[in-house]
């Protein structure tokens, strides 16, 4: 994906899916007080690398759409009316997006409200080296083929089998051409967009999705999703702490809590040396007993050279989400004489909130000097402490 790539998101919400009950199409049902569509949209609207966001809706659903998206921000384009099949709806959305100048598109099911920034990041990262990439999870259950009387006719080899999720990312012109061809040739058997790409001979990379990124279809799916979001079910409260230090070096800025802060030094480190985000990542990992940042992102691995630390924290948040939990609160303290943190505090809180996909009120950033004592006092380096409170469902380990 070239540096100048302009990435759009297309959310497919034109379905009539009523198997989930309750009269309204499933993407407009409320989950813990918020429409499924709104939950599915937010991670794309808050992602810093994604520009225009287009939703395809059923023409009858305009009022439901307006209600569901009333509180969302303006990167949302006016909705496009879909067609009679999923494929026709996707094509309508892609045609609309082709007018925006977007070079790439992530296509996402409106009925997957648990998509995370981490999954989006992984698909985007794969688009740097592939024409197409989709989120997917390896099949872990043993697969049986049923015979005519519903007894087992065979056990399938599950090696190499993945369950496709969304988002699915493509070069916009390529997937638009693939869908036009599919519609023209009346290929209505394609159940996802990767299948259209495959039919057009485009190589599609598989990147790890998230087991929690489920598609809500049945009433049981909704019951499980509600349970997952219910405050009462997340009463297993855990706390983790983190600490990190980076040495000052030559440079003209530092990264602190995902914010670029001008300074007369830089920070030395393998990634972007964002010590507060590293401490916070360790705090979140600590709260779920998932080791430390070095285990997940070894400094010896060249792919993390110069990496933005956002993805470390997003990955830790993904691990919490995969366990059905939420990050309830985080608190970061930066220990340094300079630069001054105060002017950037609110931007730092906002950035942490965006990465973790939590309300800004659940984040805290503080700073202190060490009265010119020790290495921070002498200006040799900067330290950061963090704590994270995580709520998990009972019954985990």
Residue closer to Mg ion by CB (options 278, 349) is 278
Q: Does 310 bind Mg ion (CB under 5 A)?
A: no
Nearer to Mg ion, 41 or 284 (CB): 284
Residue placing its CB nearer to Mg ion in the complex, 326 or 330: 330
Contact call for residues 91 and 180 (beta carbons, < 8 A): yes
Least CB distance from residue 304 to Mg ion, whole Å? Answer: 11
Query: Hey, how many other C-beta atoms are within 10 angstroms of the C-beta on 174?
Result: 18
C-alpha separations of 292 from 114, 122, 188, 299, 391 in Å = 24, 20, 47, 12, 19
Q: At its nearest, how many Å lie between Mg ion and the CB of residue 265?
A: 16
- Residues 102-141 as x/- pattern, contact with Mg ion by CB under 5 A: ----------------------------------------
**Closer of 255 and 344 to Mg ion (Cβ):** 255
The least CB distance from residue 244 to Mg ion, in Å, is 4
194 to 213: interface string for Mg ion, x by CB under 5 A: --------------------
| Phi, then psi, of 71 in degrees rounded to 5 | -95, 5
Asked if residue 133 lies in contact with residue 169, where contact means CB atoms within 8 angstroms, the answer is yes
CB nearer Mg ion, residue 66 or residue 268: 268
Of 170 and 304, the one with the shorter C-beta distance to Mg ion is 304
Q: Which of residues 219-278 bind Mg ion (CB under 5 A)?
A: 244, 278
Residues near Mg ion (CB under 5 A), total? 2
CB atoms within 10 A of CB 264: 12
Per-residue burial over 2-25, b if 16 or more Cβ lie within 10 Å, else e, is: eeebbbbbbbbbbbebeebeeebb
Least spacing, CB of residue 333 vs Mg ion, in Å? 15
Footprint on residues 278-307 left by Mg ion (CB under 5 A): 278
Q: Least separation, in Å, of the C-beta of 346 and Mg ion?
A: 24
Distances (CA, A) of 157 to 141, 142, 161: 11, 8, 8
Beta strands in 204-282 (DSSP E): 204-208, 236-249, 253-256, 259-262, 266-267
Tell which residue, 315, 329, 331, 327, has the closest CA to residue 366: 331
Which residue lies nearer to Mg ion by CB, 107 or 275? 275
| Shortest-Cβ-distance residue relative to Mg ion | 278
Q: How far is CA 132 from CA 172, 176, 390, in A?
A: 10, 13, 35
Summarize as ranges the residues that interact with Mg ion (CB under 5 A): 244, 278
């Amino acid at each position: 994906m070239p540096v100048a790539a302009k990435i759009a998101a297309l959310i497919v919400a034109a379905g009539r899916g009523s198997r989930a009950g309750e009269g309204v199409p499933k993407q407009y049902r409320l989950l813990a007080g918020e429409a499924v569509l709104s939950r599915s949209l937010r991670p794309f609207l808050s992602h810093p690398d994604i520009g225009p966001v287009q939703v395809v809706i059923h023409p009858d659903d305009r009022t439901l759409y307006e209600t569901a998206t009333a509180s969302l921000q303006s990167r949302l384009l006016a909705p496009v009316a879909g067609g009679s099949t999923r494929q026709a709806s996707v094509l309508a959305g892609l045609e609309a997006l082709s007018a925006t100048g977007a070079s790439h598109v992530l296509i996402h099911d409106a009925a997957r409200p648990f998509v995370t920034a981490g999954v989006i990041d992984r698909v985007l990262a794969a688009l740097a080296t592939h024409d197409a990439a989709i989120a997917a999870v390896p099949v872990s259950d043993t697969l049986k083929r049923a015979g005519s009387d519903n007894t087992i006719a065979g056990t399938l080899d599950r090696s190499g089998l993945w369950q496709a999720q969304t988002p699915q990312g493509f070069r916009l012109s390529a997937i638009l051409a693939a869908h036009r061809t599919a519609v023209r040739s009346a290929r209505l058997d394609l159940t996802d967009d990767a299948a259209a790409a495959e039919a057009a001979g485009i190589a599609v990379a598989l990147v790890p999705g998230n087991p929690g990124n489920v598609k809500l279809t049945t009433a049981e799916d909704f019951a499980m999703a509600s349970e997952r979001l219910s405050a009462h079910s997340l009463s297993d409260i855990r706390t983790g702490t983190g600490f990190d230090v980076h040495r000052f070096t030559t440079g003209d800025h530092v990264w602190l809590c995902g914010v670029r802060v001008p300074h007369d030094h830089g920070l030395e480190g393998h990634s972007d040396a964002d010590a507060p985000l590293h401490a916070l990542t360790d705090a979140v990992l600590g709260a779920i007993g998932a080791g430390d940042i070095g285990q997940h992102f070894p400094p010896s691995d060249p792919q993390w050279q110069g990496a933005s630390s956002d993805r470390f924290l997003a990955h830790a948040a993904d691990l919490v989400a995969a366990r059905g939990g939420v990050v309830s609160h985080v608190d970061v303290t930066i220990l340094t004489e300079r630069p001054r943190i105060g002017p950037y505090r609110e931007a730092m809180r906002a950035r942490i909130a965006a990465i973790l996909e939590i309300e800004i009120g659940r984040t805290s950033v503080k700073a202190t000097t060490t009265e010119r004592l020790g290495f921070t006092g002498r200006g040799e380096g900067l330290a950061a402490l963090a704590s994270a409170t995580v709520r998990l469902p009972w019954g985990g380990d």
